[in-house]
Structure 1
């Protein structure tokens, strides 16, 4: 493969052959000295050398990767030829491959295998990376070339995907200050540098509190907990040097089932407090002052661009377009959600009274008594359902759905043929089940461990593009299921199974992509959750239930009567689920609409929730001090509402399948799903793509029906 330095230099000017040879020698020497920069080798178009990565190589690799990319960018910016799509936009799309490779490893060390040593390097590199990005976004010569291509394309439009790349690239530079004067550009870059450091510190503080607030139980404190949970907790405690005890870690996967089943109310309160106080303990790892500073810097930065607040700037290229539209959607749903919470609390309090518990429902009681209500109202025990939800069988179920809708086949890869970063990671090859065509690899990292961030997420190590030859996809799903004791099955809740399908939806979105340029792999934040939320619906289809939900010990299928109970509870606890989510989304938006001068984060959160009428019996899903979606970076800042926006699309699209002759496996609707909703990624305007699929815009009525809320009158 010809080095990118040479390719871009050729685009920039005529280079003597001897200079090219020298450039190649320098490039080859640099690559061979650091494994993180090297091109991936082996089968499947090459895969990351995860088994060889070392924290000691990170700093050098990132710094050299940045240097290489800046050389490429300078060559593009200083090209003596008139700007064209090929010598400017396409050249930019090609630039930065070594650094991209480094960041594949960097992402693993940050999210899956973090360590104190890496965090030190990460903190040191954060401001340098910010400066690097500013050097590109504020390169005046580069922007003038981009602008020239953009202006020309407005007179003579390019092929659709080329035009989309030009439009997105120009908008990105414009939104990041390319049109500012020199002084404002300088301050803009300074702010980004300050923010990068704050984001890193925020996320590391949360990770610290997740790792260091562990509740250890003794034998007399296990009331209500299942055998499988107890065995897992014992193993975790043993791994932490606490033999004979049981560990409840400070993560959702451990907290949630404990709060649902533990009969020890004092311990429920302790575990609840640990979890919801992450980043809010008044110590060196407290995030409140960091958040206040982030908000001030964000407002100052967008002020340089002429915006009144961060939300205006951020939402201009989203489906919502502005904060008013996002708030309007949330506030249409909020009253119905909180009204349902009151009904749920009334039901729970009644059960508590009947049991003679002599308590008033508090946040650490909600899950426990909701489960009691579920059992009473629907005769449904969540732990009974878990006996039929095995992780391995759910994985098979996802493969089945992918085969039915996308014609994909998943085949396990021999462990020795693809390097992995941990023994728990498994890999499958993805092929077209009709033609046998290779599509990519799917990596699964399912279990929680120290150094791994909480939650569930999907990512890619390589995306599909065709502009320099077709590339395959290397996609991964990452979860935090509690690892079972040896020989035990991994049993998960219905909610966790839903999340598993959700994240797999992201992976299918990666695999199905049919785009030419890397920029088009990006997504519109209030749209990209739609595809994954939609895939959740296949978990409850008859074909999945009848084939893959079998008892982990006996292998018997889930009883029909239990399935009926599950379906009847589809709107159960929607008050809790919707309200805890919307509270976080509303706080996110209101924080960014508020004046951050002298803001007291705890006070703002408390008073805003009071003004909204937040029920006291439950918390926000993500309290502000650990709201990583919003404050460990900018991906979801003023965009957490996007899950609700995507839910409207999801509910509406689901009705398209329900109305079809073949239901959720209707071939015609499935083909349209892949063609318009998955394959284009960001190569097509999301609103247009949805209209092509549905024949109209989505309607909120479907969402309200899905949740069992009153449907608003037209």
Structure 2
């Protein structure tokens, strides 16, 4: 019996074998096709219930199975899973296109949509119908037959290319090792980083200290290692992923992806891929995004240049560095920060034991939203590192299952993300609760120390947990509008707003306890964390803006004449470049957010959401950071609503007004 085809509540990870996926997905596609045919063959006139709702309910089994498969392809993959992904992704694209381009189905959807003003629908029902209709119209339902064939070819090719892109980056990340056998080469590294590097070497049957491109290994080395040549070697290795003359080169893939996306948008009647994407975002158009990014650039650039010059002068004074390079930035920045604020990240780490930070984020969710988290061992997990919890409210109502996976492994991609195995929905009068997961890559415990987080890792955990709350607290009728099913430039608001609590004394006192003594983090450290929060914010802002502008250059213009990825990227970075270019490196060939993830023409949304989060948190600060009334306004108007209404309407209902960027610029120290 195939476990994926049985009825299950939580994923039966331990029972699943690789050979189960293909037959299960094939069968689930057939089930979904039958559900669609039942809608088409319904002899009754098309209605909201028999067409719109029925269509929203199709493919549930397929969604369950593919969510398990693709989540594991990111968090616990192997060569066999990657091969299956290559085979099934085009099939899934084909199925999606079969549905979108099905004339009989679209005819029924359109018939209901044409009656929208006469149906007395709730705002949520209207949004479902509108989103469903646009899902068809924006993806080719109005094309002629030849154009539909062309669209299918493009979508199948894109799905294969984005998978290859990600596989290449994972392979390049896993293949690089820097083994150091001379203790002088790890000079400057904190003891915890040295111990982790030694443990990594031992695990791979090597003597010495092993440094890799996984973030918990890479970042401490770039921040603290005194050996400039080794920092250079590591930085160049990180920067040339997908840009080497080997089987993992992504240059052609990047050009193929942007050209296919452009061709697709033209086929659908849009000028560029960005025009297509942004029509359904808060930002609405590429012109609005560029105006937004360039206005921030104008404010941030003078500060960034000033900060960069100061850092270069500091490095020259300290170590006679004539020209500051990319592999110098984190190293001298950390030294200068320590000197200015007398704040050493290593001094902070003992106060941020992973388990304490987890308890802290749970406690904050409890104080704000009356949630309780209990670790359980009664549901299956895909790796022994994964922690599992039940989430309930103050009245012991079940809210969600929660999975948390915190440490790097060879089969896990870098970075941090939130995902889900099941979305919330109300079906047959039952409020089906979600199954939410966060995946991170934090330093593992060593033989002598628990997992101690840098302050950046603390904010990362809070960020992903903010996304998780958006999924957990969902309370909508329809699955496709639930939780994080919102526009991309709104989805980062819950995650980024939660990061603010990391800087607040009242919040830190709940969890920042020394892992050996139990002492609460000294208040002078808290003050220094707050003081240093805007340190080099001009440079950080410029860096984020550079990524957003690069994304818009790739997707907001006609790419057909671009011949060289590196040359195009250098030109796109010209207004935001501080460090000298490194000829061996290329950002685009490893820019997974836009070429593998869902952020194409959407990377600006991090900054967009920062404006929202700074403005929202200012409201909390005015009333008290644990003010229940404001917290519940945020929960009721933002977290629970998903994509049931337009994001700006939801935000204004919470805040009482439109957001403005002053709060962000003040927080960043870019205006007074």
Q: Does TM-score exceed 0.5, indicating one fold?
A: yes
* Corresponding residue to 2:141 among 164, 174, 178: 178
Say whether residues 1:504 and 2:468 are aligned partners: no
Give the match for residue 35 of structure 1.
Answer: 3
Give the alignment of 1:14-413 within 5 angstroms.
33-40=1-8, 46-218=9-181, 219-242=183-206, 244-413=207-376
Name the CA distance, whole Å, in 2 between partners of 1:222 and 1:360.
23
Structure 2 residue 538 is the aligned partner of structure 1 residue 570: no
Q: CA deviation at 1:220?
A: 3.0
Runs of 4+ in 1 over 4 A off after TM superposition: 617-622
Matches within 5 A, 1:561-600: 561-599=524-562, 600=564
What's the counterpart of residue 569 of structure 2? 605
Question: Equivalent residue for 1:464?
Answer: 424
- Would the aligned equivalents of 1:580 and 1:618 in 2 still touch at CA under 8 Å? no
CA distance in structure 1 between the partners assigned to 2:666 and 2:543 by the alignment: 19
What secondary structure does 1:64 align onto?
helix
The yes-or-no answer on 1:676 pairing with 2:640 is no
2-structure distance, mates of 1:287, 1:365: 27
Please say if residues 556 and 601 of structure 2, whose CA atoms lie closer than 8 Å, have aligned partners that are also in contact: no
For residue 374 of structure 2, give the secondary structure of its aligned residue in structure 1: strand
Which deviations, in whole Å up to 9, do the C-alpha atoms of 1:653-704 show, x marking residues without a partner? 11111211xx111122111111111110101110000110111110011111
The alpha-carbon deviation at position 379 of structure 1 amounts to 1.2
Which structure has more relative contact order (CA 8 Å, sep 6+)? It is 2
> What is the rounded CA distance, in whole Å, between the counterparts of 2:450 and 2:663 in structure 1?
37
- Cα-Cα RMSD: 1.7
What is the TM-score normalised by the length of structure 1? 0.91
Is contact 2:492–2:609 with CA below 8 Å preserved after alignment?
Answer: yes
Deviation at residue 367 of structure 1 after TM alignment? 0.3
2:392 paired with 1:431 = yes
Post-superposition Cα deviations, 1:207-246, rounded to whole Å, max 9, x if no partner, equal 111111122222331111111111112222222232x222
Q: CA deviation at 1:619?
A: 8.9
Structure 2: distance between partners of 1:65 and 1:106? 13
- Residues 120-153 of structure 1, C-alpha deviations (whole Å, 9 max, x = no match): 1111222111111110110111111111111111
**Residue 657 of structure 2 is aligned to residue 708 of structure 1:** no
Q: Distance in 1 between matches of 2:513 and 2:164?
A: 44
What SS class does the counterpart of residue 515 from structure 1 fall into? coil
Aligned-partner Cα distance in 2 for 1:63–1:246: 46
d(CA) in 1 for partners of 2:529, 2:122? 49
- Residue 699 (structure 1) aligns with: 660
Q: Output the CA distance in 2 between the equivalents of 1:323 and 1:287.
A: 26
After TM superposition, give the deviation of residue 617 of structure 1 in Å. Answer: 5.4
Partner of 2:647: 686
Q: Is the 8 A contact 1:512 1:678 kept in 2?
A: yes
Number of aligned residue pairs: 666
